[in-house]
Amino acid sequence: MLQMADVRKRYALPTEKEILAGLDEGATLPAEFYYAPEVYALEQEKIFAKSWQYACHESAVAKPGDYAVTKAGSTPIIVTHGKDGELRGFVNVCRHRLHSIAEENGSKPLLQCPYHGWTYGLDGKLKTAPRSQREANFDCATISLEPVAVERWDQWVFVNPDPAAPPLATVTADMRGFTDDINAELREYEFQVRYEYDMTCNWKVWAENAVECYHCPTLHQSSFGKTYHTNPDDYAVRSGDNTIWHDGPIKWLPGNVDPAGLRGFRFAFTFPSSFFALDDYVGFIGSVQPVGPEKCWAFVDMYAKPGADPVVVKEWLEMWDQTLIEDKRATDIQQIGYRSGRIPTGRLMLDSESPLQAFMKTTLSALSL
């Protein structure tokens, strides 16, 4: 089985202790962490196969028979709402010849593989398989979809490919005091649009960009940086082992509206890939997913506050799309630098980029287990 020691040997990398010491001094992870296929393989096994990740809004599985499809790293997942009211999750792969059970969300009393018609209950148990009566010793009762862990975080449904995973609360406990308010407000917001972005960069490059705002005044001068105060005296960041929190005041509104009295921007990130945010006009939740060592994909579901000024909402949605397009361009270009092989590590500005240090330490810890 591949281990971090094998990767270190293959690429002549420092030891974990040396990398950690570098992180403490403000260095980044070695550049190879952002393009080596072996690191990508380890991340699938040690991070994405064992982490809680956002799956869907509760409305996608609101009533018995509803199901929603998602992915957690390379693991395809289906979440079902059973007749007994329970949410369950399974690897979205038929136990016959590994075809997916469903390609999109839906609602049915049974799940049937479209390839050969094997049919499962919403509890994952095989009900029927065409021609099974012609097979010796074939027993449907012994075959079920492979389970995964499922939990609610207020209105959000999270999944973990590891069915024996520790509870989601063990990951999110240190930010619940902040996010309870976000979720209570965001529950009232109305869905507007999903934005999707394909990046030619390692997933960590995109995630690291998302958890710091040191770049906001320069990269986002006419988008995020125009809308919110991003200087370090106004824009606050907090980091835990698995969670990152941002908040900052609104500084600009269309039509010269005075932003005084507004609560401003609040953002939460859970390792490795899920995030949500809210301000007085719009909110969103999304995730970044690895596609390959140097490719990733992100989606962001945008919501608007009922009764909010439609002019502001329209400009806010356009601002976020512009911001995320700018992020995509920047991270795609960053990947070229990581892949060049000429610069072994970067140098963080720890006063402004402490979330990056926390993210990188968590990544290193997970890969070294």
Q: Which domains does the chain possess? A: 53-167 (2.102.10.10), 170-368 (3.90.380.10)
CA 230 to each of CA 13, 34, 212, 237, 329: distance values in angstroms, whole numbers, following the listed order: 36, 27, 10, 11, 20
Whole-number Å distance between alpha carbons of 239 and 241: 7
Query: Does 170 score more than 90 pLDDT?
Result: yes
How large is the average pLDDT for residues 24-35? Answer: 97
How large is the average pLDDT for residues 219-224? Answer: 97
Q: Considering only residues 341 and 26, tell me which one the structure prediction assigns the higher pLDDT.
A: 26
Whole-number Å distance between alpha carbons of 59 and 156: 9
Whole-number Å distance between alpha carbons of 66 and 43: 31
Q: How confident is the model at residue 237 (pLDDT cuts 50, 70, 90)?
A: very high
How large is the average pLDDT for residues 251-278? Answer: 93
Q: Give the single-character DSSP code of 47.
A: I
Q: How confident is the model at residue 275 (pLDDT cuts 50, 70, 90)?
A: very high
CA atoms within 13 A on the CB side of 292: 7
Q: How confident is the model at residue 265 (pLDDT cuts 50, 70, 90)?
A: very high
User: Do you find a cis peptide bond into 14, omega within 30 degrees of 0?
Assistant: no
SS3 of residue 127 by DSSP? strand
Query: Does 255 score more than 90 pLDDT?
Result: no
Q: Write down how long the chain is.
A: 369
The pLDDT score that the predictor gives to residue 193 is 97
The tens digit of pLDDT for each residue in 102-140 reads: 999 999 999 999 999 999 999 999 999 999 999 999 999
Q: Give the single-character DSSP code of 345.
A: -
CA 337 to each of CA 205, 333, 345: distance values in angstroms, whole numbers, following the listed order: 11, 7, 10
How large is the average pLDDT for residues 350-369? Answer: 95
Q: Which of 41, 240, 275, 74 is nearest to 158 (CA)?
A: 275
Query: Does 256 score more than 90 pLDDT?
Result: no
Q: Which of 158, 167, 148 is nearest to 90 (CA)?
A: 148
CA 228 to each of CA 35, 120, 137: distance values in angstroms, whole numbers, following the listed order: 33, 50, 66
The pLDDT score that the predictor gives to residue 103 is 97
Mean pLDDT of the chain: 96
Q: Which of 66, 68, 48 is nearest to 56 (CA)?
A: 68
The tens digit of pLDDT for each residue in 51-72 reads: 999 999 999 999 999 999 999 9
Question: Which segment of 9-18, 23-32, 59-68, 256-265 scores lowest on mean pLDDT?
Answer: 256-265
The pLDDT score that the predictor gives to residue 92 is 98
Residue 345, number of CB atoms within 10 A of its CB = 16
Whole-number Å distance between alpha carbons of 332 and 336: 7
The pLDDT score that the predictor gives to residue 257 is 83
The pLDDT score that the predictor gives to residue 369 is 82
Whole-number Å distance between alpha carbons of 240 and 4: 24
* Model pTM above 0.85: yes
The tens digit of pLDDT for each residue in 146-157 reads: 999 999 999 999
Whole-number Å distance between alpha carbons of 121 and 366: 35
Query: Does 270 score more than 90 pLDDT?
Result: yes
CA 112 to each of CA 121, 125, 127: distance values in angstroms, whole numbers, following the listed order: 9, 11, 10
The pLDDT score that the predictor gives to residue 216 is 97
Q: Which of 353, 281, 352, 356 is nearest to 319 (CA)?
A: 281
Whole-number Å distance between alpha carbons of 249 and 104: 38
Q: What is the DSSP string of 228-297?
A: B--STTT-EEEE-SSEEEEEE-B---GGG---TT---EEEEEETTTEEEEE-SSEEEEEEEEEEETTEEE
Instruction: Spell out where the chain has E strands.
Output: 53-57, 66-72, 75-81, 87-91, 106-107, 111-112, 119-120, 126-128, 147-153, 156-160, 190-199, 236-239, 243-248, 265-270, 274-278, 282-292, 295-304
